[in-house]
């Protein structure tokens, strides 16, 4: 079993054009994941000189290339819960932002002719207990009655069993606008589009410190390859562990890096794959410590979850792989003897309210905190932040939100084991 991401292992590695680091640009983007690449493409299309600075050896090597391959609509938290806190109109706006985000991914795949197995087969949210199905019915009723999503559909246990070959589920809620794709090939296609439009991508270039010049948006960036000045800077770093605390400390106190872990099976034969997940949707279970799964184009099962409340490392990934194997076999006993070919972990940039945060602070623009629903929103927010930085003050769907520091969170997330214990207990009592 390889301790690496299937998405990056099965996609060509993007090789940026060899260039010297420029001394001055219109826009510097810190982070070469989907947010940074999407923003760079959009800004370069508008005529700006743009440089993407990625600390790793390849683009989309962190969260963008380490997720479950889902491109889902719907909020990370229950719509009713969000509506009760911020009002229905605001909740509707945020829900529809995810619809727009999936549309953005679909448009980019089409316009840039990216070969990434993009398919829009929907997402089925699965209940493992009868009471959870009651909650999904209430969610569906509210989404339809509020006119937020009239396409959702509740499945009973029999209908779920027609397309999911498992006896664990009591029903589900179908979100028909959701999709999926091969993350590594999408990253390659998107990065290629960035360079075609004239923006530069510099990998193995860690931004160590950022200094503001005057009171505007201009900054000097100190990197592992030298200094450059930028008229504007976009921080698209997610749960970064690079750079000094002075430049990134404000963000780090507001984001908890939580590990999420995934295993991928050997290829199944086509008939077995069809019997396992006939509709080839994305699937996620209802729980705080949940599972998510889907099939790949070459008939592998991708099975992930928050197996352990720990950060990703080779030792942590291997331990989490054992836990996920047990969860996979519990869900699909017929796969007990199937070989696991890949296992990896990644960091989810979780916020306290599990919603994204984006805007501007002290002259720096930022977009992050996607909280496990980042594939589509990161691509979308790259474009939205490019529009905002180009003068469209209404471009940011997450504007005007307060972002308070997480109490007691000053560096490494020492409290993760306690959080994990709390959510496991909450799931047992649900």
Predicted confidence (pLDDT) per residue in 93-120, tens digit: 999 999 999 999 999 999 999 999 999 9
pLDDT at 416: 52
Closest to 136 in 3D by CA, of 169, 91, 108: 169
pLDDT at 309: 54
pLDDT at 241: 60
The mean pLDDT of 205-226, rounded to a whole number, is 96
pLDDT of 221 > 60? The answer is yes
Residue 400 structure tokens: 């005007």
Q: Which residues, other chains included, contact 178 with Cβ-Cβ below 8 Å and sequence gap of 6+? A: 70, 71, 72, 73, 74, 102, 120, 121, 122, 123, 281, 282
The mean pLDDT of 138-161, rounded to a whole number, is 97
The mean pLDDT of 158-177, rounded to a whole number, is 97
pLDDT band at 245; cut points 50, 70, 90: very low
Q: Which residues, other chains included, contact 184 with Cβ-Cβ below 8 Å and sequence gap of 6+? A: 5, 6, 7, 8, 9, 10, 11, 60, 65
pLDDT band at 422; cut points 50, 70, 90: very low
Q: What is the mean pLDDT of the chain?
A: 91
pLDDT band at 204; cut points 50, 70, 90: very high
pLDDT at 242: 54
pLDDT band at 423; cut points 50, 70, 90: very low
pLDDT of 310 > 70? The answer is no
CA dihedral for 215, 217, 223, 227, sign (positive or negative): negative
Residue 316 structure tokens: 């942590």
pLDDT at 385: 98
Q: Which tens digit of pLDDT belongs to each residue from 251-298?
A: 888 888 887 899 999 999 999 999 999 999 999 999 767 899 999 999
Q: Please name every residue paired with 51 in a beta bridge, in sequence order, or none if there are none.
A: 28, 200
pLDDT of 250 > 90? The answer is no
pLDDT at 2: 93
Closest to 133 in 3D by CA, of 153, 156, 151: 156
pTM over 0.85? The answer is yes
pLDDT of 417 > 60? The answer is no
Spell out where 66-166 has E strands.
70-71, 123-127, 153-156
Residue 259 structure tokens: 């590990």
């Amino acid at each position: 079993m390889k301790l690496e991401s299937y998405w990056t292992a099965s996609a060509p590695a993007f090789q940026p054009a060899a260039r010297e680091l420029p001394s001055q640009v219109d826009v510097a983007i810190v982070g070469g994941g989907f947010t940074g690449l999407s923003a760079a493409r959009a800004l370069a299309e508008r005529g700006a000189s743009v440089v993407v600075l990625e600390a790793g050896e390849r683009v989309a090597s962190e969260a963008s290339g380490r997720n479950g391959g889902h491109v889902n609509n719907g909020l990370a938290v229950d719509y009713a819960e969000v509506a009760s806190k911020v009002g229905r109109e605001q909740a509707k706006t945020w829900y529809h932002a995810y619809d727009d985000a999936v549309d953005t991914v679909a448009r980019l795949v089409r316009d840039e002719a990216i070969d990434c197995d993009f398919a829009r087969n929907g997402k089925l949210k699965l209940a493992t207990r009868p009471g959870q199905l009651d909650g999904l019915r209430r969610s569906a009723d509210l989404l339809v009655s509020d006119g937020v999503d009239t396409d959702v559909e509740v499945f009973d246990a029999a209908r779920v069993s027609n397309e999911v070959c498992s006896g664990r589920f009591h029903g589900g809620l179908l979100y028909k606008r959701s999709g999926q794709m091969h993350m590594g090939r999408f990253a390659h296609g998107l990065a290629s589009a960035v360079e075609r439009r004239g923006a530069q991508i510099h990998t193995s270039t860690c931004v160590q410190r950022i200094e503001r010049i005057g009171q505007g948006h201009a900054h000097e960036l100190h990197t592992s390859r030298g200094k450059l000045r930028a008229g504007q800077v976009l921080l698209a770093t997610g749960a970064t562990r690079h750079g000094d605390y002075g430049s990134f400390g404000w963000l780090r106190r507001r984001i908890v890096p939580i590990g999420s872990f995934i295993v991928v099976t050997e290829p199944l034969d086509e008939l077995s794959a069809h019997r396992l997940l006939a509709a080839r949707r994305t699937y996620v279970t209802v729980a705080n410590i949940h599972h998510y799964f889907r099939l790949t184009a070459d008939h592998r099962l991708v099975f992930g979850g928050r197996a352990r409340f720990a950060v990703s490392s080779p030792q942590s990934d291997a331990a989490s792989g054992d836990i996920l194997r047990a969860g996979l076999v519990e869900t699909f006993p017929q796969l007990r003897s199937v070989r696991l070919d890949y296992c990896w972990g990644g960091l989810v940039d979780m916020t306290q309210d599990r919603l994204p945060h984006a805007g501007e602070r002290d002259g720096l623009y930022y977009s992050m905190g996607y909280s496990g629903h980042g594939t589509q929103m990161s691509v979308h927010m790259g474009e939205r932040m490019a529009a905002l930085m180009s003068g469209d003050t209404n471009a940011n769907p997450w504007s005007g939100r307060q972002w308070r520091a997480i109490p007691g969170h000053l560096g490494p997330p020492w409290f993760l084991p306690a959080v994990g214990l709390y959510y496991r207990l909450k799931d047992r009592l649900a």
